[in-house]
Amino acid sequence: MENFIAGPQLWLFPWKNPLTERLGRDFFLNLPKEPGVYLMRDRGRRVIYVGQSKNLRQRLDSYRFARPESSSRKLIRLIARVSSIEIELCPSASAARLRENVLLRQYRPPLNSVNTHPESHLFIQIKLNAEGLEVDYSNKEEDFSSRQPDIHLFGAFKSFPTRRGLQALYRLFWRHLNPTVNRHFLPLHLNRQKPPRPYRLEPISRNGRMARKILDYFSGKSDALINRLCGKSGQLLAGMNDPWLRRILEEDRDALTHFYHAGPARNKRLKVDTPLSSKRPIGQAQLDDLLAS
């Protein structure tokens, strides 16, 4: 049998980029070299993609020369569906990014994935009471509208790292309380991808050191909670004899560290750099706009 050599995909018919034929060469030549946003529509006039650039001519011209052998399949599918392109000039590159966010939330184009569903961001509520500490999360801030001294609300945070960070916290906390227990006794709900809600961390004193470290962690003040759960320099994890469990918990430690920097610590910096209230969580759409500016 002859050796098969992998190479670029062969096309049954020669592929020709359709944008020049559909929109005309003059359309691209007359585009301004200024910041702005663009909306791509299909034959039914539906907005299928929204983008932004500090140089609209350069950015849109790149679509005209895209080819299957050098571009992603998603880009080729987009080009095949585009029937018209509309542009809107903006005073600056940062203004273009903010305007793009507004349009993404308005149209929710099927070929955009980022910032089209800000309501998927999560808020985290922590209750401190006589029974211990209870953690809950929701994508609706109004689910946690109660304002009581022992209730703390944090967010908004991006969904995936938040869910991953919460499950990592629960597993590390359980291991912190049960350092010598066999891995097979790990509760089933802590082996799932989706963290349980609500979840009670017991036993934690309302005014104890662990409660303060958890609140400081979610408010972005300190990541000392990670050392508290894992031991300094990961001593608790390094001392485990079970390599499988050690690997899982090391991944949990990394997930907890990533969430802290991508969530609580970042939100704290955003509040310092803007006239936002330090006592209120950042709104979902507001978070996307702050990250874009």
Half-sphere exposure of 79 (CA within 13 A, CB side): 22
For residue 12, the model assigns a pLDDT of 57
Half-sphere exposure of 190 (CA within 13 A, CB side): 20
pTM given for the model:
0.78
Residue predicted with more confidence, 290 or 214: 214
Q: Go through the domains of the chain in sequence order and give each one's CATH number.
A: 21-107 (3.40.1440.10), 120-292 (no CATH)
Mean pLDDT value across residues 137-154: 84
For residue 9, the model assigns a pLDDT of 56
Using one digit for the tens of pLDDT, what is the confidence trace for 44-76? 999 999 999 999 999 999 999 888 878 888 999
For residue 1, the model assigns a pLDDT of 44
Residue predicted with more confidence, 158 or 181: 158
Closest C-alpha to 218, from 119, 152, 147: 152
For residue 14, the model assigns a pLDDT of 64
For residue 143, the model assigns a pLDDT of 86
Residue 166: pLDDT above 70?
Answer: yes
Using one digit for the tens of pLDDT, what is the confidence trace for 230-260? 876 666 666 667 777 778 888 999 999 999 9
Residue predicted with more confidence, 224 or 5: 224
Residue predicted with more confidence, 223 or 145: 223
Residues with Cβ within 8 Å of residue 240, at least 6 apart in sequence: 246, 249
Phi, psi (rounded to 5 degrees) for 43: -65, -25
Which residue type does 166 have?
Answer: L
Residue 15: pLDDT above 70?
Answer: no
For residue 29, the model assigns a pLDDT of 93
For residue 231, the model assigns a pLDDT of 75
For residue 3, the model assigns a pLDDT of 55
